[in-house]
């Protein structure tokens, strides 16, 4: 056997009994086929592969990066859709118990005030079209508004318009009405979209037609659609969007927050006054 064959440099550094002429492209050490890992150029030994993995930049899952403020993913819209779908599933699985516990009835406003919001996350179990239409509208208009307003303002808009929809039912509906659905909030988004688009010089003709048609359907089928919630949500959405437009400059941020709080206080005050004037039961 020649001296070259006895040369330690010709044997795998991890397996000294295995002769090889393969060199790690990174460190130059001899490795056997079992210890070699194919790289973009040549092969690497196990230690170099481990070192490269440790020094590589850590990439966070897309689900994590989606929640960053800088992300363009409409996280709030998707979350709202998910909540509505989960609640719809719970309505079915509970045999209607969730519906009974969380729907809104005007005469129970003072006794169960939380239902003015919880009812906006429920939908009719008698027809899949109810939730399908609302979730489609949320998916169609929500991302644009979320991108335009930012997540915080968008959440405030959605919740306040959902509340405004219930206030509309309280003012315009009958005491025994049983109301549920995201329609009040959806009409609030449509109203806000209209104001924002007009304020920025956009064409709103088609949107006006959509709003008018859906309002008209509510009036044509008053026993199956709570048009009162549509009106309440729409008016609230128009008002909040007007506030956003008038206070969009950074130096008016405090005014914006104050006016949003004032809007919530007015809605609460109107609710209390309506309950008293209509003689609904209180605690």
The catalytic site residues sit at 183, 230
Q: Which residues of 191-215 are buried (b: 16+ CB within 10 A; e: fewer)?
A: bbbbbbbeeeeeebeebeebbeebb
Q: Which of 240, 209, 249, 215 is nearest to 229 (CA)?
A: 215
Q: Are 256 and 247 in contact (CB under 8 A)?
A: yes
**41-52 core/surface letters (b: 16 or more CB in 10 A; e: else):** eebbbebbbeee
**Residue 47 · residue 54 · CB < 8 Å:** no
Contacts (Cβ under 8 Å, ≥6 apart) of 31: 12, 13, 14, 20, 22, 23, 24, 43, 45
Angle at 65 between CA 64 and CA 66, to 5 degrees: 90
SS3 for 48-64 is: HHHHHHHHCCCCCCHHH
Q: List, in order, residues 6 or more apart from 259 with CB less than 8 Å away.
A: 243, 247
Enter the tokens of residue 90: 């719970």
Compute the distance between CA of residue 200 and CA of residue 179 in angstroms, rounded to an integer: 35
Q: What is the secondary structure of 237-251 as a DSSP string?
A: HHHHHHHHHHT-SGG
């Amino acid at each position: 056997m020649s001296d070259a064959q006895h040369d330690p440099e010709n044997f795998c550094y991890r397996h000294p009994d295995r002769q090889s002429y393969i060199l790690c492209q990174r460190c130059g050490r001899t490795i056997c086929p079992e210890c070699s890992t194919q790289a973009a150029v040549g092969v690497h030994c196990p230690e170099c592969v481990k070192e490269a993995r440790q020094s590589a930049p850590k990439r966070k899952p897309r689900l994590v990066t989606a929640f960053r403020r800088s992300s363009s993913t409409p996280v709030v819209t998707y979350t709202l859709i998910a909540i509505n779908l989960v609640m719809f599933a719970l309505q079915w699985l509970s045999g209607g118990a969730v519906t009974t516990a969380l729907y809104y009835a005007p005469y129970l406003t003072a006794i169960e005030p939380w239902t003015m919001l919880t009812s906006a996350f429920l939908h009719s179990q008698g027809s899949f079209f109810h939730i399908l239409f609302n979730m489609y509208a949320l998916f169609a208009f929500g991302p644009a508004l979320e991108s335009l307003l930012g997540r915080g303002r968008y959440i405030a808009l959605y919740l306040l318009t959902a509340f405004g929809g219930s206030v509309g039912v309280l003012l315009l509906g009958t005491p025994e009405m049983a109301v549920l659905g995201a329609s009040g909030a959806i009409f609030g988004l449509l109203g806000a979209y209209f104001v924002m688009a007009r304020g920025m010089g956009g064409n709103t003709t088609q949107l006006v037609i959509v709003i008018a048609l859906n309002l008209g359907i509510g009036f044509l089928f008053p026993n199956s659609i709570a048009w009162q919630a549509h009106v309440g949500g729409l008016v609230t959405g128009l008002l909040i969007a007007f506030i956003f437009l008038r206070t969009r400059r950074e130096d008016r941020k405090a005014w914006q927050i104050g006016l949003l709080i004032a809007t919530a206080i007015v809605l609460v005050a109107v609710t209390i006054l309506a309950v008293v004037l209509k003689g609904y039961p209180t605690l």
